[in-house]
Amino acid sequence: MKRLGLTLLALLLSLSMILIGCGPEEPVDPADPPEQPPSTETDSSYTVTESYLPSSYANQMKTLFESADPSFATYEQRNNAPLAIPDFITLSDCTLKSITIPVLGTGEAEGGYYIFTLHVVSSDYAGLKRTLSDPLQTIEIEISASKYNLKDNDVVYRFIKVDLENYKIKLGKNESLAFGAATDSIYPAQVNTYGLNNQNEKNPAAKLLLDEWGVTCHYYINADDSAFSISQNSLLFDFELERTYESKDAYDALMAAKAAAEAEYQQKLAAVKAAYSGKYISMIGDSISTCEDVTNNTEYNTNLWDNDVYANQYKIANGYNYSKVYWGKLAVDTEMNLCVMNGWSGGRVYGGKRATMVDNMLTRSYQLANNQGVNPDLIVLYFGINDIGNSPSSIHASGNLSSIGKEGGDLYQRLTANTTKTQHEIVDEWFAEVQQQAATSGYVQGSANNIIAGTTYTCWEAAYALSLQNILASYDNPEVYIMTLIETNAGHASNGKLDRANTILRALAEYFGVGIIDQQKGYVNQSNCHIYAYDTTGLHPDMRGHALMARLIVETLYDNLNK
């Protein structure tokens, strides 16, 4: 019986296999890949954690702050919060892991916690202005009174590091941070760097900001929404950031590319230094180019006694000197000598700082040799931003000149007209008329006499052309470069006026055979100019902005070495 049972079981198993094999076979689509086993590979992304501030800088500030240094005070603009932090070290495209706050004092805790507020905002100029009023995200950071040993309404003077892991704050590539709310109960410290001159020795934190970091500013919308404003009061937050890259190979490639770019620049700088070391450099400019005790120093040229200096511009006291201004950094990096740095805050090519128009470019073109009679070998001209909204010119409208431009000629219109004439021929005809006007008024090229704005010339572009003519005929055949006007969001540069002015400057450079340093093809544009500037509109570059200007000049000089 047992053997019979086993035989029947075997028969049943065989029958079942036969029945299964006789079913319709599933058709196989050759386009379908065979099913793969689950992947055992891990995510190939690569994360890097870094600090927002260099450790040496943060440690120095921490030491000054925790010693209750008088440089620090409670932030003055709390009622205008949120306040945006300029993206000095690319505070974007990252996850925030922690924040270190220089806590000067406290208000009153609720439920055992003090509040400090962060806001996610757009980092470009237009977006920043918009999102300061309506942030993309607002996060209230709770700071435990017991954990950090904080008491109500107390003076603290401590850097406090707060973990942000649970807040999941992630910034996109075009996003940055704003901080603060009027109702916050954590009061961070500020360092007032506005208008400092010889007070830096009494304000070591401000000196450190200026000498090693540059002026750090914050933007805000006025409490009544009346203006997009800037505060020179600087905060010292430090963030721990985590950045994610596609892979370690991608990260290594990025770092290698940055290192290669810097090595290439250093090679260019070495070549320019070899060519220009020991030569003398002069310039003509406006507030962007001013520097206390240089651009108004009669020891360089007796005519500089009346030159105004931009109120927020670099101070030469205590080591914060002209080496931070673009032309000074260029001179230091290439070992050139300063001849005459003729910068005048508010100055115009046309003239107009005072009723006498003594700041006009044509008059100043006679003031580029120093008191010892040394002529410049290199002359850099960065001038005209104050003219585009104030002086007669052909740039104000196309074919329909405004009242300010009725006497401004028509050079821009001629340059952009549909004609068979070359640009050189157009400027040649126009400049012949400009020279005739100047001669009729009593001006003689080579003499600084009889220069009267509105009579010798009737627009800023005519004054610029006459100045170029004089510069090239003087100073022992100097090398001359025109800088186009830097991108800005300032209102007077809107409606295409800056672009039209730069079109004229490029045409004059071509006609007179001088070099062009084209800042519209440089590192600063309308979207990022506020990041590299003292002011919200990006008009006056800060230390980093000037460094980028100097870099562009070096690269331009290098490109022209072999031409």
3-state secondary structure of 23: coil
Q: Is the pLDDT of residue 22 over 80?
A: no
Pick left, alpha or beta for residue 237 (phi over 0 → left; psi -120 to 50 → alpha; otherwise beta).
beta
pLDDT of residue 77: 82
Higher local confidence (pLDDT), 433 or 3: 433
CATH superfamily of 261-561: SGNH hydrolase (3.40.50.1110)
- Separation of alpha carbons 276 and 270, rounded Å: 10
Q: Which 8-state DSSP code applies to residue 560?
A: H
Whether the CB-CB separation of 89 and 82 falls below 8 Å is answered with no
Cα dihedral angle (141, 142, 148, 150), rounded to 10 degrees?
110
pLDDT of residue 475: 95
pLDDT of residue 12: 37
In sequence order, the 6+-apart residues with CB closer than 8 A to the CB of 352 are 359, 360, 386, 390, 391, 453
Average pLDDT over residues 84-96: 85
Strand residue runs (E) in 13-136: 46-51, 72-74, 83-84, 94-106, 113-122
- Separation of alpha carbons 317 and 207, rounded Å: 10
Helices (H) and strands (E) in the chain, counts: 12, 19
| Amino acid letter, 295 | T
Identify the sign of the CA torsion 33, 39, 44, 47.
Answer: positive
Q: Which of 197-201, 284-288, 459-463 has the lowest mean pLDDT?
A: 197-201
- Separation of alpha carbons 118 and 115, rounded Å: 10
CB atoms inside a 10 Å sphere around CB 497: 18
Q: Is the pLDDT of residue 30 over 60?
A: no
How distant, in Å, are the alpha carbons of 395, 488, 490 from that of 493?
Answer: 11, 7, 6
Higher local confidence (pLDDT), 224 or 180: 180
In sequence order, the 6+-apart residues with CB closer than 8 A to the CB of 233 are 75, 76, 77, 190, 191, 192, 193, 194, 218
Q: Is the pLDDT of residue 510 over 60?
A: yes
pLDDT band at 492 (very low <50, low <70, confident <90, very high): confident
Strand residue runs (E) in 358-426: 378-382
| Amino acid letter, 310 | Y
Whether the CB-CB separation of 532 and 542 falls below 8 Å is answered with yes
How distant, in Å, are the alpha carbons of 206, 213, 317, 446, 552 from that of 321?
Answer: 15, 14, 7, 34, 20
In sequence order, the 6+-apart residues with CB closer than 8 A to the CB of 484 are 502, 505, 506, 516, 517, 518, 519, 520
pLDDT of residue 326: 94
Work out the burial of residue 7: count CB atoms within 10 Å of its CB; fewer than 13 is exposed, 13-18 middle, 19 or more buried: exposed
pLDDT of residue 402: 41
- Separation of alpha carbons 18 and 172, rounded Å: 62
pLDDT of residue 194: 58
pLDDT digits (tens, 9 = 90+) for 331-356: 999 999 999 999 999 999 999 876 67
Q: Which residues of 275-302 are buried (b: 16+ CB within 10 A; e: fewer)?
A: ebeebbbbbbbbbbbbbbebbbbeebbe
pLDDT band at 235 (very low <50, low <70, confident <90, very high): confident
Q: Is the pLDDT of residue 119 over 70?
A: yes
What is the Cα Rg of the chain in Å? Answer: 32
Q: Is the pLDDT of residue 389 over 50?
A: yes
pLDDT of residue 162: 97
CB atoms inside a 10 Å sphere around CB 214: 23
pLDDT of residue 557: 98
| Amino acid letter, 297 | N
Helix (H) or strand (E) segment spanning residue 263: helix 248-276
- Separation of alpha carbons 224 and 344, rounded Å: 34
CB atoms inside a 10 Å sphere around CB 452: 15
pLDDT band at 4 (very low <50, low <70, confident <90, very high): very low
Segments making up each domain of the chain, as ranges? 46-245, 261-561
Structure tokens at 162: 């707060």
In sequence order, the 6+-apart residues with CB closer than 8 A to the CB of 361 are 284, 348, 349, 350, 351, 383, 460, 463, 464, 467
Q: Is the pLDDT of residue 152 over 60?
A: yes
Helix 460-473 with 497-512: angle, nearest 10 deg: 30
Average pLDDT value over all residues in the chain? 86
- Separation of alpha carbons 306 and 156, rounded Å: 47
Q: Which residue, chain included where needed, has tokens 């599933």?
A: 26
- Separation of alpha carbons 520 and 503, rounded Å: 11
- Separation of alpha carbons 13 and 153, rounded Å: 86
Q: What is the pTM of this model?
A: 0.87
Work out the burial of residue 229: count CB atoms within 10 Å of its CB; fewer than 13 is exposed, 13-18 middle, 19 or more buried: middle
